[in-house]
Structure 1
């Protein structure tokens, strides 16, 4: 376990690269991404630094989730865009229409895990239900209005997770977490924090930040940020209920894939 400062971002985790630079083509093949695009205004120094940061962040995520690296690319359906096609004032975002996770050049860090969950939430919707699903739908949102669940064993932890996020223990009312976020939305005159897909994404990034591996490029702000202070993340009791569901799901997913996630191997060959 090594510690380092990535400019102003802290990281504590294994040295997967052994101090050697990687490029974005290696990021793409290692993590099974469909493609990576980089903005034309990114110079060579910025491109190299970004490739290393993204590689380490995704490697950390695979270790935290205990999954093989290729899981990150969601069967090569996910595209990563760096400093390209972003939204003004937004650190990162996921575009469901193109299945693209976009990171801003100078402000994309810290939201990586949150946006990856959006990509996963979108991807898994087609497998969580037996009937057809809308092309841009998120599983967490569909769960509220659908009951045609696919009872596959890999889906069981997810079907336990979503009620913990959205409903109370008796499943008779909204969860306290949802209610807190609904009140925050009401005070701001919006509907955003209480959206199921946002509730689940914040629960996931909180889970990731609770891991022993620390990477502020991957996730930050779920403990001491402004939204954390306002109660927009799960509290300790809620997080303790959610963590086993996240862990069981990704452990089952990892064991179902032939290549065991023992370590990140540097290779330009797809798994």
Structure 2
């Protein structure tokens, strides 16, 4: 307001701060008459309407049906036909608008607008498949035997989990953790990370789309009653990631976050300084973990010239669609890489455990996604190999300590 007042005082021509240009004023005056309030096919950008113009020679004023109006150009709709009132000119403009624009819009097949749904783990509508050693000798495992074998801090069931479902969970999880610890070459107690973890079944659900989750504050893996199949390796990956951060007293809550980070547009980058981490318990595994992180983030690592991997790029695309950081989080990138490695290791040994891990080689459409959230092709091979080398360097000192 001060600028406008100043202009008036100094006789300068200054537009009033609340004034509208001709185009905006045309739409403001005409959109309601075009049916904008009631008809969704009338857009707020439509500029058909009625405009009053002055003949520069005769100074005569008249209304015209126009398509657009600016201080320099006015496009009339019917050859400069004059109207005496706004209502008459507007009626003509609407008649032409309906014929030229609105009819075409209404006849055009409308695309079905569906709410964008985030990718979700495929839900089993059949018994899961397992091929591997018969650890239970065909028998059933009690909760007490389960807890004692793996040394879990506790085993929890939800109120809605029936007795038969509890037995099914215990037997399947027993086989899964026996497979997992065998792949690592470590004793069964590794499943609980030496008594650090607890496990829950169908008792701490977080919504229909969540198959499982790891609770860091409780050090607990939870599998949902209906969608937990195939998610155990992923959640154990989270637990191991957090356990190594705690064990080595890093600044981050997860070891993966100490090595890679994500920014606002969901892209992920390597923390170069992480390679110089010193004086931690598991020092020997640092170079291999750094190499693993490089393969997760980059297609080919070359310092500042490194090219982002498709695995990381796809995660950013998935997050961009939901406008939330999840798939590109360091912890999620690591956990999905971990379950990919576990799946490929089982296949390498001619085994399958769909309760432990499932979905790493499924098509994106089966996850309700357009791109894969798992490593693919050559990148998958490289990440799996890097994970294998890291796991070997991680557990080798642990095995030596056990022997001693």
Q: Give the TM-score normalised by the residue count of structure 2.
A: 0.57
- 2:118 corresponds in structure 1 to none
Q: Which one has a bigger Cα radius of gyration?
A: 2
User: Which residues in structure 2 correspond to 1:112-261 (within 5 Å)?
Assistant: 112-128=232-248, 132-134=250-252, 137-144=253-260, 145=271, 147=274, 149-150=277-278, 152-167=283-298, 168-172=300-304, 173=306, 174-210=308-344, 211-212=346-347, 213-226=351-364, 227=367, 230-258=371-399
Deviation at 1:64, TM superposition (A): 2.5
Instruction: Report if aligned partners of 1:161, 1:245 keep a CA contact under 8 Å in 2.
Output: yes
The alpha-carbon distance between structure 1 residues 132 and 259, as it changes in their structure 2 partners (threshold 3 A), is: closer
The alpha-carbon distance between structure 1 residues 31 and 16, as it changes in their structure 2 partners (threshold 3 A), is: same
Q: Secondary structure at the match of 1:185?
A: helix
Q: Which moved more, 1:190-199 or 1:220-229?
A: 220-229
Q: Secondary structure at the match of 2:129?
A: strand
The alpha-carbon distance between structure 1 residues 133 and 24, as it changes in their structure 2 partners (threshold 3 A), is: farther
Distance 1:132 1:57 in 2: 30
Distance 2:297 2:284 in 1: 21
Of 202, 214, 236 in structure 2, the residue corresponding to residue 94 of structure 1 is 214
Deviation at 1:60, TM superposition (A): 1.3
Q: Secondary structure at the match of 1:86?
A: coil
Q: Looking at both structures, which has the greater relative contact order when contacts are Cα pairs under 8 Å and sequence separation is at least 6?
A: 1
Distance 2:187 2:401 in 1: 6
Distance 1:26 1:260 in 2: 26
Deviation at 1:93, TM superposition (A): 0.5
Deviation at 1:187, TM superposition (A): 2.6
Deviation at 1:63, TM superposition (A): 2.1
Distance 2:195 2:286 in 1: 20
Q: Which moved more, 1:26-35 or 1:231-240?
A: 26-35
Deviations 1:172-217 (A, max 9, x none): 3443321221122213322211111111111111111112221111
Instruction: Report if aligned partners of 1:74, 1:120 keep a CA contact under 8 Å in 2.
Output: yes
Instruction: Report if aligned partners of 2:244, 2:255 keep a CA contact under 8 Å in 1.
Output: yes
Q: Which moved more, 1:35-44 or 1:249-258?
A: 249-258
Q: Secondary structure at the match of 2:130?
A: strand
Aligned residues: 252
Instruction: Report if aligned partners of 1:67, 1:250 keep a CA contact under 8 Å in 2.
Output: no
- 2:37 corresponds in structure 1 to none
* Structure 2 unaligned spans of 5+: 1-124, 261-270
Deviation at 1:73, TM superposition (A): 0.9
Deviations 1:71-114 (A, max 9, x none): 12112111101111121111100111111110111211111111
Instruction: Report if aligned partners of 1:57, 1:217 keep a CA contact under 8 Å in 2.
Output: yes
User: Which residues in structure 2 correspond to 1:57-68 (within 5 Å)?
Assistant: 57-68=176-187
* Structure 1 unaligned spans of 5+: 1-5, 262-271
Q: Secondary structure at the match of 1:230?
A: coil
